[in-house]
Amino acid sequence: MSLKLEMFDADTANPEHGPRGPGHAAGVEVDYDYQAEQWVQDTSQDRPKFVRWELYDAETNTLLAKWERRADKKVVMIERSPAFRGEWAIGVAFP
């Protein structure tokens, strides 16, 4: 399965947003769920303006997982499909 991790920032007024709508900042293709988890962890540290991450099955466009940055700056998983095979659980915060 090919996966697409979409990343969103707080600048929803940016006219240069990507195909996922306002605030879309970047997207990467990954092969495994754990790679998406690592991208979320890394970009949450490197890109403090990123506020949301969404992982999709690239072939079916099905949402597999969604993470959000909370007001306390920690990132938590807020949605998880049964098809998601990563280890991150809903409500678990990083860092």
92 three-state secondary structure: coil
Instruction: Provide, rounded to the nearest whole percent, the portion of the chain with pLDDT above 90.
Output: 67
Both tokens assigned to 90: 């809903």
Q: Sorting pLDDT into bands at 50, 70 and 90, what band is 95?
A: confident
pTM of the full predicted structure? Answer: 0.86
pLDDT of 79 > 70? The answer is: yes
Q: How far apart are the first and last CA of the chain?
A: 28
Q: 13-57, pLDDT tens digit by residue? A: 554 555 556 667 778 999 999 999 999 999 999 988 889 999 999
Instruction: Provide, rounded to the nearest whole percent, the portion of the chain with pLDDT above 70.
Output: 86
Q: Where are the domains of the chain?
A: 3-94
Q: Where are the alpha helices (DSSP H) in 1-95?
A: 33-46
